[in-house]
Structure formats: C-alpha cells, structure tokens
Amino acid sequence: MALSQLLSSSSRSGNRLKSLSSAISLRHPISTDTTPITVETSVPFTSHQCEVPSRTVQTNAKELLTFFRDMALMRRMEIAADSLYKAKLIRGFCHLYDGQEAVAVGMEAAITKKDSIITAYRDHCTFIARGGTLLEVFAELMGRQAGCSRGKGGSMHFYKKDSNFYGGHGIVGAQVPLGCGLAFAQKYCKDEAVTFALYGDGAANQGQLFEALNISALWDLPAILVCENNHYGMGTAEWRAAKSPAYYKRGDYVPGLKVDGMDVLAVKQACTFAKEHALKNGPIILEMDTYRYHGHSMSDPGSTYRTRDEITGVRQERDPVERIRKLILSHDLATEKELKDTEKEVRKEVDDAIAQAKENPVPDSSELFTNVYAKGLGVESFGADRKEVRATLP
Amino acid sequence: MFIVKFVFLHFVCLLQREREMALRNIMGKRVRIGLMGRRLLSTATCDVESGNSKSINLYSAINQALHVALETDPRAFVFGEDVSFGGVFRCTTGLADRFGKARVFNTPLCEQGIVGFGIGLAAMGNRAIAEIQFADYIYPAFDQIVNEAAKFRYRSGNQFNCGGLTIRAPYGAVGHGGHYHSQSPEAFFCHVPGIKVVIPRSPRQAKGLLLSCIRDPNPVVFFEPKWLYRLAVEEVPEHDYMLPLSEAEVIRQGSDITLVGWGAQLSIMEQACIEAEKDGISCELVDLKTLIPWDKETVEASVRKTGRVLISHEAPVTGGFGGEISASIVESCFLRLEAPVARVCGLDTPFPLVFEPFYMPTKNKILDAIKATVNY
C-alpha cells in the first residue's frame, strides 16, 4: 500500500500517461503471490507477565517482497540524507534510522492507518512507513515548502495527520505521555484502535515515562509503549545509564515483550499480538532489540563509544534487509537480479525525489509568524525596536 | 633581560598576594583579585608576556575553571549527561581522568533527576556542578530549581541551604540549532528570588565568573553562550581567579546612548556600536554579567550619563529580561531619559528553523534602533 502512494506522489508533476508509462518501464512488478509461507522468527520472544506469541509467522511472497522494497527504500533514503547533510543542503540536526528499518516496516504491517504512532526524533522512516512521500521527506529536511511540515519543522518534526502519525519530537521522552493521551482519546471514542508510543533506551530513564505508564495501566488505555533499544543513548551504552537494561520488564505491573527488532517478521508478529492485548487488557511494553549503524546524529561519528567491529558484526549477522533478501532467495520468491533491480529502482526514486526537492523554494518569510497561535493569526513586528505589532487576520 | 622581568613580575605578584591577604583581613572573607579584573596595581604588571595567560577559546576556559574548582575543593563534583568523556562541547575533558569517576560521572537521561540529585548533594555541603546538556532541556528540572533550590534556605530558616549547587547549561542560537538547540531561557529563571543567573561574554570572563559561581554560597544557574564555544578566543590567565558577581561592566565608553546586554549578543552589539561611531553616535556598552541580582547602580549611572538606553537579547521580546531592566530604569531615571527605552530582541515566535536570520536581533536591527533612539 505504501508503494503505490510513493509512486503516485513522486510523479506529481502531472502528466498521468507519462507517469504511467514511466511507472511501467521502471517499476519492477512485485509478485502478487499470496500463498502462505511459514517462517520462524530469528529468536523466540521473551515475555514479562504475559503469554509469549508464537515463533512461527505466516507470511507470503507479496508481503516479503514489499518488506524488502520498503526497507531498501528507507535504507537508501537515509544514506542519501547523509550525503545531503555533508553537502550542507540539510542543516541543523539529522538523526538517521538505518539499521532500524525493520521496526518501522514490521509495525506498519501489523496495524492500520487508524492506529496512531508517535515517536521521537529518529522519524524519517516511520514517516515513510505511514505513507509519507520521499519528496516530503527531502523537502522537509532541506527546509523547503513541499516538506510535510511546510519546512518549519525540520528533521525532528515530521507529521502526517491523515495517517495518524503524530510525529516527530525533539525533547527526549516528551512524546510518551502524549502517546498515552492519544490512547485515552481512542478508548474514549471507542475507535478500536491503539497508539504506539516509541521511545529509545535513553528516554527509558525519564520520569515522565513512568508517570504515563502508571496512568495508562490505571485506566486500561490501549497504549503500546515501544522501546527501540539500539543500546546507545547518544554515546552512553545502556548498561551505563540503566540499572535494569531489560526495558520490557521495567513496566513492573505492565506486561512486556522482548522482540528481535532486526527481524521484520518478529516485529510484525509482536505488534499484532500487542494490538490485540492492548485493546483487551491495557498497556503493554515492547522492547525492540535493534541497532543503528550511523551515530546518534550527523555530528556523531558513532565510533568513539563502540568499535567498528561491533558495527560491521551487526551488519553481517543481523541486517534487516539482508535477512529478508536471504529469506526471499531461499524460498525462490525472486532472483538475485530481480532484487538488485528493485534496489536500483529505489535508488532512482530517491534521486528523483532529491532533485525535485532541491528545486523547491524555501517557505516565504511571512511564514515565520504563521501558526504561532490558532486561526492563522500572523503577527508581524515593525519599527526600529520592533514594538509595533500588526496582526493579520484570516 | 627576561630574567629581570620575570623576577620583577614575581616580586610584583608576591606583592599582589600580600595585598590580597591584607584585603582578606580587612574584609574578613576570601577575596581574590583577578589579574585583569580589579586593577589595584598598574597595568604594566603581571601581563601576557610572562606566560601567565594563554590564548584559548570558551570551552577551554570553562574546562580550566572546572579543573581548578575540583582541584581546590575536594568536595566538588561534576556530573551530567556525557560529561565523562568530555561532554558534547568538550567543556569537561580530562576531568574524569584526573579526578576519578567518583567525582566526575555521567548521569542517565533525566534532567529533573540531575538537578534534584545536585540539590541533595549541595545540601550536605558539597559543591555540586551539574551540567544540563542544552538549556532547551532544562525545563523538566525547572520545578526542582524553582521550588526546591531557590527556596531551600528560606523555608528552613537558614538551617539548610544548597548554595554549593551550580547548574551549567549552553544556551543561545548557534546558526542551525532550530527549536530545541537554540533557546535562551534566562528570563524564566530571573523571576525566581533565591537563585542567581550568570552569563559570561568571553573566555576570560567565563573562567572567572564560573569559579565565582561555584564558590558562591547560593545556587547559581550559569548559561554559556554556545556560539562562542569555539569562536571566541581570548587571553585567559592560567591561574585561579574569580570575577565578582552582581557587578556589571562597562566595556565600551560612550556618551550618546547606553546599550545593555549579555552573553553572545554583546559581540553583535559591539559591531553595531562601531558602525554607529561612523555616524558620530558614541555608544556606551554595558555587560550585565549577572542577571539576578543585577547591578542597577552601574546601569543607572550610565543612563544618567547618556540619557538613552537600548537593551538587546536573543530571547523573545515579550517577557524577556529586557522588560525588567526597562521598567527599572524608567522608574529611577525617568526625568533623565531623552527617548523611550528600546528593546531589540528575538521575535515572539518559537525559535525557528530556516528563519533564524529573521528572528535574531542582528547588528542592523540594533543599529536601526540606535539611530531611531538618538534621533527621537
């Protein structure tokens, strides 16, 4: 579903026929084979105060190839963002998600757009998974008008209202109480939907998290707190920041599940399980054991607090894209060439989106004043000491 | 020749130390006189060439201050997020290696916890130097600072106090910081009696002021202008010295208008002053240094001299500390004022991303305001 949206919006420039023909010539047809395939997750789940979901997952060729394409797209997008940052087209802060793609993709596969997701600042891929387009991503990163937040949010503040993606938060841990509030609203309105509030291992030590957890448990809110444990809070290893790095157990009275976050099928299984659980019994914590290849942000080389061997080790053993590639090849769902072609297509899509985003203008300077308050009440200040203020009413 | 000079300087420095001790006896408390601070001796003494000071940048000056603080007081501690390897701005490099992990340590990601913990540590008589990684993240700790640190001495009838607490945080715009790496929250803290708020403008000031803050018997919030961490380079004396708190400094003499500011903004204001000089406007520039309790006398004396005042800060204009200075000056110098008090500050919007150049109180905005005020 994410794919068709990506394609249709990346050729927004109008000519339907042209876009269709280019789509046909470029786009590699993904197998629509839906015969079920049974796969086992990499490791069994471990749980705290709840039953363990089955290790056997049902999937099919279509789903696996979609996973591959989506994760390859995200991987390429993050690497392209890295180069753009070094070329100083993206400024400010840029936190890259490569290595963790399985969490975003697996979660999306388990839920609908009615369920809400709220996350921290490492949000580029979650935004794509929720249906965002590459153009919106790159434009927002470069601070242009076509960005999802109109160029005013930047890397850390991606939002998508129509797919219930509540962003994109710079302050560590602040999004978790918000997420529990979303869950409250969902329960109140009888939406039969859940909220996934994502946070990192660094944020797991924030007090507001436990406040939110207590309230969610008290009122049985359909909140799923997902700890994306990439083992480093910026430069601090988890064992140096937390007395108990078993984040799935930190809920105490709230059940928890530990998941291999590099296995997209495990993530999907866990999220399906969690959604069912949350709708019936209230909050649950999911700990995604994942890893990021880049440093914390673009100003962090990522090698001062961990060895290069560790990074290459994870890349070789546990890379999410490689795992799916091996699965696809071992089940003969596609040839190696077809997968390489998919990656090439994805690369081209990313390059096209970047080119389009570069052409896009920066927001008009009057945008500095818009949306401070509601009703588009723009306020402009004039005069030598900027005392005279003029408000433009809608 | 050099030896003679060295001996002379040594002698002179000895003299100075004697003077210090004399002062100490008179005033009954520890008073350190900075080499370049209070000039009790002639300016030809104890200067750069003897090797007493080195040209360093802001983060190195702060690093030196912290080294001195931990060296001179065995009960001083430095803690915060990532301070152990040197911190994200390298202000704490070498401290953990030199003083050990028991005195220089990392905390988990919890600002409220950091400050609360610091208050407790200080209440037992230690010097707790807490680092908040960016001033934008200080808000979870706001409750602890306002409700606990500021009121501890008052509500316990002076039985307890957390005077040993110093909270350091980098503040201010940096060119690409965006919403959450550029804020100037000093105004929020200036509204709290019981704490002090200190902001240095340069490396030499930073080292002296930080040492004063650490040794001050009151809790202090010390904001460091992050834009200047690498950019500002100055001759900083290598030894231990303190600069007085609650004393503003006139860093440029003038007669037509008084400009008041602090931190990184002063360098922008100085550029505006130089430009205004070309138009024949003589500007007096005052560095407030300590925001609360602030030095009203110096500012008022300057305003009485010039009759006009302009205040500039990066924080949004509404509710910014400029309002307090303005109100106070108007109260005390109303009849002397020749023009309304001008404030050239950040705009009333969240700190923007791409629009930072429009938001900031730039040299041209200040120059504009100087001319308008002088020609009022």
CA distance A201 to chain B (A): 9
Pairing of the two strands B249-252 and A378-382: unpaired
- Residues of A within 8 A of B372 (CB-CB) are 383-385
Q: Which residue of A has its CA nearest to B353?
A: A152
Q: How far is B349 from chain A (nearest CA, A)?
A: 6
What was the pLDDT predicted at A22?
45
Is the CB of residue A46 less than 8 Å away from at least one CB of chain B? no
Reported as a pLDDT band with limits 50, 70 and 90, residue A374 is: confident
Q: Which CATH fold topology does B249-375 show?
A: Rossmann fold (3.40.50)
Same domain flag for A376 and A255:
no
CATH code of the domain occupying B54-237: 3.40.50.970
Q: Which of A206, A299, A386, A387 to mutate to test the interface with B (most CBs of B within 10 A)?
A: A386
Among A154-163, A205-214, A384-393, B66-75, which stretch is predicted with the lowest mean pLDDT? A384-393
Q: How far does the CA of residue A205 sit from the closest CA of chain B (Å)? A: 6
Which of A173, A384, A386 is the closest to B317 by Cβ? Answer: A386
pLDDT above 70 for A186: yes
The pLDDT score that the predictor gives to residue B40 is: 30
How many angstroms from the chain centroid is the CA of residue B255?
25
Mean pLDDT of B197-207: 97
A11, part of any domain: no
Position A313 in a domain = yes
A330 and A372 part of one domain: no
Residue B186: active-site member:
no
Q: How sure is the predictor about A114, in pLDDT bands with cuts at 50, 70 and 90?
A: very high
In one-letter notation, the amino acid at residue A1 is M
**Host domain of residue A252:** 36-363
Does residue A5 belong to any structural domain of this protein?
no
CATH of the domain at A96: 3.40.50.970
Same domain, yes or no: A73 and A89: yes
Which is the catalytic residue, given B111, B148, B224, B284? B111
Q: Which two tokens stand for residue B63?
A: 């690093």
Distances (CA, A) of B76 to A61, A199, B92, B205, B208: 63, 34, 14, 21, 17
Query: CATH topology of B54-237 equal to that of B249-375?
Result: yes
Q: Kindly tell me if the per-residue pLDDT of B3 is higher than 90.
A: no
Q: Return d(Cα B133, Cα A363) in angstroms, integer.
A: 31
Tell whether A142 is covered by a domain.
Answer: yes
Burial label, A341 (beta-carbon count in 10 A; 0-12, 13-18, 19+):
middle
Distance CA A272, CA B94 (A): 49
> Chain-wide mean pLDDT for chain B?
87
> Do both A274 and A377 map to the same domain?
no
pLDDT digits (tens, 9 = 90+) for B239-265: 999 999 999 999 999 999 999 999 999
Chains A and B: how many Cβ contacts under 8 Å? 107
A269, two tokens: 């299984």
For testing contact with chain A, the best of B132, B143, B349, B354 (most A CBs within 10 A):
B354
A16 touches chain B (CB under 8 A): no
Which amino acid does the sequence have at B178? G
Residue A384 inside a domain? The answer is yes
**A243 in Cβ contact with A270 (< 8 Å):** no
Q: Which residues in chain A touch residue B179, judged by CB atoms under 8 angstroms apart?
A: 154, 157, 170
Lowest average pLDDT, out of A288-292, B38-42, B124-128, B151-155, goes to B38-42
The structure tokens listed for B343 are 């404030």
- How far apart (Å, rounded) are the C-alpha atoms in residues A97 and A123? 8
The pLDDT of residue A372: 78
Dihedral Cα B209, B215, B216, B221, nearest 10 deg: 60
User: A21 in a domain, yes or no?
Assistant: no
Pairing, β B290-292 against β A56-60: unpaired
For residue A385, the model assigns a pLDDT of 52
Q: Is the ipTM of this structure higher than 0.90? A: no
Beta carbons of B82 and A202 less than 8 Å apart? no
Per-residue pLDDT for B37 more than 80? no
Nearest chain A CA: its distance from B237 CA (Å): 32
Nearest CA in chain B to A201: B109
A379 domain residue, yes or no: yes
> Does A314 lie in the same domain as A219?
yes
Cα–Cα distance for residue pair B261/B273, rounded to 1 Å: 13
Element counts in chain B: helices (H) and strands (E): 14, 14
A372 and A279 together in one domain: no
Task: Please report the pLDDT score of residue B39 as a whole number.
Answer: 31
- Give the pTM: 0.83
Q: Tell whether A150 and A257 lie within a shared domain.
A: yes
Domain coordinates in residue numbering, chain B = 54-237, 249-375
Q: Is the pLDDT of residue B123 over 60?
A: yes
A212 pLDDT above the threshold of 60: yes
B284 is catalytic: no
